[in-house]
Amino acid sequence: MTQHKIVFLERESIRGTFHRPDFPHDYAEYPLTKPEELAQRVQDASIVITNKVQLRGELLATLPKLKMIACAATGTDNVDLAWCREHGIVVSNIRGYAVNTVPEHAIALAMALRRNLLAYRRDVLAGKWQQAPMFCFFDHPIRDLHGATMGLVGRGSLGEGVARLAEAFGMRVLWAERKGAEKVSPGKTAFEEVLRQSDVVSLHCPLNDATRGLIGEAELRMMKPDAVLINTARGGIVDEAALSRALKEGWIGGAGFDVLSKEPPREGNPLLEIDQPNFILTPHVAWASAGAMQTLLDQLTGNLEAFARGEPRNRVA
């Protein structure tokens, strides 16, 4: 069997036990990899494991030994898939590992916003409850998930997971057709109509040319003035400047985001400037429960072993 050289570029990005694959290999791992370190680290690799490190065609063309890119994530927008397909490089991703953790995070964001938990927490810290004339106060509207409408964009395993939880809360679920589609498929609702009807819109689609900027000013203005937008997918799906205006000017009721267009946001971001209790931003951790991360690492090992057997699985290229 071929002796492979495996390089794991971002071992620190995933917590848990990585069981090295059961085939002959040399192995090198790095906690993190900076752009200026990348070329040297992958020079002799036949298998590269990446989470978010960018692997573009210009670099890949300099790696004659490369046979496989193993993405330690579901998203593959950091890999030049077209180049890999053209040059016979296998690219595999991770699937299904986050079917509980991401939907739970999305619902938690929706519930916190619908019930105005951050606003009430802020008021308690400011002493308003202590000064209230009766046992409670009603300064912010509280809306149940029960009876509300959940609009879902993307019907993969994560969207299905959110749908199951939403239905358990007694929500009506609408599945969005592709934006701009000429026909609406059975079981789906026109994209614009989902935006108009939903009390909660949750995004679960990949980031690609068709979904980049999917939600912009026009779409935000279609939504109900008390609706909330949840994004646990990819930051680039939403026009962040437009969302910032929407929140500041009250076009929508709130938003809960776990992702930004550039991560980490070292050069700033319009959403970082929002200090309002109707906006929640978490640092791309919806996927990162302890159980989910271990499931991811175990599947990663399985992807490597399947490739070495000549039976690559979970292929995206």
User: Structural domain boundaries of the chain?
Assistant: 4-95+291-308, 101-281
Instruction: Specify the pLDDT at position 34.
Output: 96
User: Please, which residues bridge with residue 26 across strands?
Assistant: 5
Structure tokens at 221: 């203005």
**CA-CA distances (angstroms) from residue 290 to 138, 225, 293, 294?**
37, 36, 5, 6
Question: Is 101-281 the same fold as 4-95+291-308?
Answer: yes
Residues 4-95+291-308: name the CATH superfamily: NAD(P)-binding Rossmann-like Domain (3.40.50.720)
Beta carbons within 10 angstroms of residue 122's beta carbon = 14
SS3 for the chain, per residue?
Answer: CCCEEEEECCHHHCCCCCCCCCCCEEEEECCCCCHHHHHHHHCCCCEEEECCCCECHHHHCCCCCCCEEEECCCCCCCECHHHHHHHCCEEECCCCCCCCHHHHHHHHHHHHHHCCHHHHHHHHHCCCCCCCCCCCCCCCCCCCCCCCEEEEECCCHHHHHHHHHHHHCCCEEEEECCCCCCCCCCCCECHHHHHHHCCEEEECCCCCCCCCCCECHHHHHHCCCCCEEEECCCHHHECHHHHHHHHHHCCCCEEEECCCCCCCCCCCCHHHHCCCCCEEECCCCCCCCHHHHHHHHHHHHHHHHHHHCCCCCCECC
CATH of domain 101-281: 3.40.50.720
The contacts found for 137-140 with CB under 8 angstroms, 24 or more apart, are 140/116, 140/277
Tens digit of pLDDT at every position of the chain (317 positions):
689 999 999 999 999 999 999 999 999 999 999 999 999 999 999 999 999 999 999 999 999 999 999 999 998 999 999 999 999 999 999 999 999 999 999 999 999 999 999 999 999 999 999 999 999 999 999 999 999 999 999 999 999 999 999 999 999 999 999 999 999 999 999 999 999 999 999 999 999 999 999 999 999 999 999 999 999 999 999 999 999 999 999 999 999 999 999 999 999 999 999 999 999 999 999 999 999 999 999 999 999 999 999 999 999 99
pLDDT at position 1:
66
Q: Identify the bridge partners of residue 7 per DSSP, sorted by sequence position.
A: 28, 48
Q: Which residues are catalytic?
A: 234, 263, 284
CA distance 190 to 7: 45
Q: How far apart are CA 297 and CA 287, in angstroms?
A: 13
Report pTM.
Answer: 0.90
